């Protein structure tokens, strides 16, 4: 090959603005178009073609940027369509000009030549003069001559739009078949994509940003091919699977250009129908792995998944639609397998992107296979495995990965109306353990509220393990990274109240299960700090007592019920003592009393002993820990009330207790309290019941003793109004005992017990 000559590369118009260039070119187009039309009017076709060539030559410019070039292109092709119309008219009326296809090819410059050739070719097809397939094939091949990206893209766009309605769509036919049309568009697409990608690599590297911007402006030109393919009537799913998609993907992968790959994948997903995607999921997903490292694969996969999710939820809503989740394809498996290999292939993928993909898959799985929890579980497992494989064992709070992972965890919880399915997920905890405290805590609160709001009852041990051992762990026990002052957090109480509600909802499938759940809960609760116990333990104690009652009610069915009950009571004792040690004497006291009360209703051999123990614990707490006078009064009132209701004591145990009450009441600091206290105690001596009799005690002497003591105290009261009110209270008591038939009291009244009142 020989070489000669060296000239300077002239850049005409480099200094001119785009607008000025466009204006100049447009003027030339207008003039030539005018001349062309005049020649057409005068029936001078050859002259008209000459003017058309002159007009088209304006498109040969290299000075215009894509946007401006596009405007010029629109102007030119507008005029060209006039020529086309006239030619069609001539063909229609006078028959074809057989040489025309050859004639226009004498044009010296390739760009105007090909624009004309396309125009004429379309007229030939339209008038059925030649088989469409031959013309199409010829045109798309000849267009290879334009290798300049911008000019080539627009030329091929003209080709596509001009023959748009002329593509054969029949299965058979002399003019061509659907196969010819598919091949045609595919080839055009491939060539356009090559040109488009090539833009990236031409020119100075400093212009890269501008070039990428320009490329984005041009992407629609390439995408139009795919749109056309999707619109071909007879291009069915089989053809899509066998021909269209493989060809398109080949281009996408081989071009190794991030912009093109990202756009085209998105384009494929958006333009083709859902059932096509369903039939080719594997292919489409497999293609994601080899894409350029800069390609946002996450967005591609997610967009595909979301499209399918939307499709399924729509077809579900529309009951008439036959399309649904295909029975022959396991969508989850296809996705999961491909995602796995995708991760393997793309080691540089950010962890949050990986999780986001799993999140999308989760949505799909829940949409398509709501019954199949193994899938959900597997997604968790795969996610963890992947994160670990990239060296991520904990995700920092407020990172994108953390955000995505929380969403992933929440999704099944939010989705299922009942929590039962979600709790069967064995990998849930593994995911949780990835989080740092703050996130786990937030998730735990979320879950707790969800459980409480849905009135979900934890009913098996396994569930309990998941709920309390994993989900709510940050709210119940020590978790790494928990701040020391967690209990001073503004929402701490609120959270604990929710947890308490969850606890109170616990309802094992049977009594033994419930016992097991409670036993393991006990360990967990007592391991926590007192700040939490304060809220959780009462709930737990009440559950335990409830269970004991349950055992008692079903005593005929279970020989061992006594043993089980004592065990429960012993647990209750331990729990309440823990509270007491934690300087919550009042709370502990109340719980002991409650326990005693319940114990008394579950009569069995040891119930008296146990009830006594509870009561004595309450008394010792009272004596040792309750020092505030108001608290003392309140506590005593409770104790008196409790003792009055308890019926399991023998006299041996009962008398010391009620005597103690009276004694303690009389030792209140405030006189009025003492007065009212002993009045209340009086009731114990009268209406208290013993285990071995159905009768009330009716110990009139003691009653009177108490009342007298009350009067004595009232008398010593200095404040007249207080004294009056005390006397009124005492009078009430007297009256009440009188009504109940207490002789001693009756006598006293006669003796002028009301004297004080009179005073």
Positions touching other proteins (CB under 8 A) are 1-9, 60, 98-99, 101-103, 105-106, 108-111, 113, 134, 138, 141-142, 144-149, 151-152, 198, 202
Closest CA to 431 of 483, 376, 366: 376
Work out how close the CB of 219 gets to other proteins at its nearest, in angstroms, rounded to a whole number: 19
Work out how close the CB of 144 gets to other proteins at its nearest, in angstroms, rounded to a whole number: 6
Nearer to other proteins, 140 or 434 (CB): 140
Work out how close the CB of 202 gets to other proteins at its nearest, in angstroms, rounded to a whole number: 7
Nearer to other proteins, 142 or 289 (CB): 142
Nearer to other proteins, 110 or 300 (CB): 110
Nearer to other proteins, 146 or 706 (CB): 146
Nearer to other proteins, 149 or 508 (CB): 149
What are 435's strand-pairing partners?
395
Work out how close the CB of 65 gets to other proteins at its nearest, in angstroms, rounded to a whole number: 16
Q: Say how many C-beta atoms besides its own lie within 10 A of residue 99's C-beta.
A: 8
Work out how close the CB of 245 gets to other proteins at its nearest, in angstroms, rounded to a whole number: 23
Beta carbons within 8 Å of 350's beta carbon, 6+ residues apart: 400, 401
Work out how close the CB of 415 gets to other proteins at its nearest, in angstroms, rounded to a whole number: 51
Work out how close the CB of 80 gets to other proteins at its nearest, in angstroms, rounded to a whole number: 18
Closest CA to 365 of 415, 438, 435, 437: 415
Q: Exposed, middle or buried by CB within 10 Å (0-12, 13-18, 19+), for 478? A: exposed
Q: Which two tokens mark 667? A: 């030792």
Strands annotated E in 631-692: none
* Residue 579 near residue 537 (C-beta atoms within 8 A): yes
Work out how close the CB of 142 gets to other proteins at its nearest, in angstroms, rounded to a whole number: 6
Nearer to other proteins, 10 or 317 (CB): 10
Q: Give 282-336 as a DSSP string.
A: HHHHHTTTTS-TTS-HHHHHHHHHHHHHHHHHHHHHSTT----S-SSS-HHHHHH
Nearer to other proteins, 13 or 656 (CB): 13
**Measured between alpha carbons, how far is 433 from 429 in angstroms, rounded to an integer?**
6
> Helix (H, G, I), strand (E, B), or coil: what is residue 645?
helix
Nearer to other proteins, 57 or 644 (CB): 57
Place of tokens 């396309």: 118
Nearer to other proteins, 60 or 523 (CB): 60
Q: Which two tokens mark 377? A: 């579980």
Nearer to other proteins, 154 or 332 (CB): 154
**Measured between alpha carbons, how far is 364 from 368 in angstroms, rounded to an integer?**
6
Work out how close the CB of 62 gets to other proteins at its nearest, in angstroms, rounded to a whole number: 9
Buried b (16+ CB within 10 A) or exposed e, 433-466: ebbbebbbbbbbbbbbbbbbeeebbbbbbebbbb
Q: Give 75-134 as a DSSP string.
A: HHHHHHHHHHHHHHHHHHHH---TTHHHHGGG-SSHHHHHHHHHHHHHHHHHTTSS-HHH
> Helix (H, G, I), strand (E, B), or coil: what is residue 217?
helix
Work out how close the CB of 150 gets to other proteins at its nearest, in angstroms, rounded to a whole number: 9
Work out how close the CB of 56 gets to other proteins at its nearest, in angstroms, rounded to a whole number: 12
What are 64's strand-pairing partners?
none
Nearer to other proteins, 95 or 755 (CB): 95
């Amino acid at each position: 090959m020989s070489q000669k000559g060296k000239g300077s590369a002239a850049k005409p118009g480099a200094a001119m603005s785009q607008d000025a260039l466009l204006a100049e070119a447009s003027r030339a187009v207008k003039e030539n178009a005018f001349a062309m039309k005049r020649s057409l009017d005068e029936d001078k076709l050859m002259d008209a073609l000459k003017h058309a060539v002159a007009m088209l030559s304006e498109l040969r410019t290299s000075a215009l940027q894509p946007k401006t070039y596009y405007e010029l292109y629109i102007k030119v092709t507008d005029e060209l369509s006039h020529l086309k119309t006239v030619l069609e008219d001539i063909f229609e009326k006078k028959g074809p000009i057989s040489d025309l296809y050859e004639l226009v090819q004498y044009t010296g410059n390739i760009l105007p030549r090909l624009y004309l050739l396309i125009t004429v070719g379309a007229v030939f097809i339209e008038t059925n003069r030649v088989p469409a397939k031959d013309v199409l094939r010829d045109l798309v091949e000849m267009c290879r001559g334009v290798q300049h990206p911008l000019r080539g893209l627009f030329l091929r766009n003209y080709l596509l739009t001009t023959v748009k309605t002329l593509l054969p769509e029949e299965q058979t036919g002399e003019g061509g078949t659907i196969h010819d049309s598919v091949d045609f568009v595919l080839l055009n697409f491939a060539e356009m994509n090559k040109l488009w990608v090539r833009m990236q690599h031409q020119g100075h590297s400093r212009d890269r940003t501008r070039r990428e911007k320009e490329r984005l402006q041009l992407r629609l030109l390439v995408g139009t091919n795919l749109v056309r393919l999707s619109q071909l009537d007879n291009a069915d799913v089989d053809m899509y699977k066998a021909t269209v998609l493989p060809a398109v993907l080949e281009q996408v992968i081989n071009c190794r250009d991030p912009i093109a790959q990202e756009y085209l994948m998105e384009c494929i997903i958006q333009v083709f129908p859902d059932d096509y995607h369903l039939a080719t999921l594997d292919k489409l997903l497999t293609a994601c792995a080899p894409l350029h490292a800069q390609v946002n694969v996450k967005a591609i996969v997610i967009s595909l998944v979301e499209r399918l999710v939307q499709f399924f939820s729509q077809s579900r809503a529309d009951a008439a639609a036959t399309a649904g989740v295909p029975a022959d394809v396991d969508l989850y498996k296809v996705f999961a397998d491909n995602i796995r290999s995708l991760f393997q292939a793309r080691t540089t993928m950010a962890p949050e992107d990986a999780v986001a993909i799993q999140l999308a898959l989760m949505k799909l799985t829940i949409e398509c296979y709501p019954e199949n929890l193994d899938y959900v579980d597997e997604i968790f497992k795969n996610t963890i495995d992947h994160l670990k494989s990239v060296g991520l064992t904990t995700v920092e709070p407020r990172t994108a990965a953390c955000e995505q992972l929380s969403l992933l965890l929440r999704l099944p919880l939010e989705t299922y109306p009942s929590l039962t399915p979600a709790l069967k997920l064995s990998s849930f905890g593994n995911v949780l353990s990835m989080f740092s405290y703050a996130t786990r805590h937030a998730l735990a609160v979320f879950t707790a509220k969800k459980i409480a709001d849905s009135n979900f009852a934890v009913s098996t041990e396994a569930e309990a393990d998941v709920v309390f051992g994993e989900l709510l762990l940050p709210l119940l026990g020590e978790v790494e990274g928990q701040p020391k002052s967690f209990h001073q957090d503004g929402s701490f109480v609120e959270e604990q109240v929710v947890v308490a509600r969850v606890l109170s909802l616990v309802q094992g499938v049977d009594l033994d299960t419930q016992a097991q759940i409670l036993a393991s809960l006990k360990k967990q609760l007592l391991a926590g700090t007192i700040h939490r116990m304060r809220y959780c333990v009462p709930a737990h104690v009440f559950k335990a007592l409830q269970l004991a009652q349950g055992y008692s009610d079903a005593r005929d069915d279970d020989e061992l019920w006594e043993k089980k009950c004592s065990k429960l009571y012993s647990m209750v004792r331990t729990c309440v003592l823990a509270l007491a040690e934690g300087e919550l004497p009042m709370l502990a006291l109340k719980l002991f009393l409650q326990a005693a009360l319940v114990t008394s209703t579950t009569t069995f051999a040891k119930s008296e002993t146990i009830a006594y123990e509870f009561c004595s614990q309450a008394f010792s707490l009272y004596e040792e820990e309750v020092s505030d006078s108001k608290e003392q009064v309140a506590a005593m009132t409770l104790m008196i009330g409790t003792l009055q209701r308890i019926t399991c004591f023998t006299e041996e145990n009962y008398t010391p207790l009620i005597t103690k009450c009276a004694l303690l009441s009389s030792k209140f600091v405030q006189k009025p309290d003492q007065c009212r206290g002993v009045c209340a105690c009086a009731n114990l001596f009268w209406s208290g019941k013993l285990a071995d009799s159905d009768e009330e005690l009716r110990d009139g002497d003691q009653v009177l003793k108490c009342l007298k003591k009350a009067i004595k105290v009232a008398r010593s009261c200095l404040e007249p109004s207080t004294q009056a009110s005390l006397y009124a209270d005492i009078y009430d008591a007297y009256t009440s005992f009188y009504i109940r038939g207490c002789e001693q009291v009756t006598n006293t009244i006669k003796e002028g017990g009301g004297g004080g009142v009179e005073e």
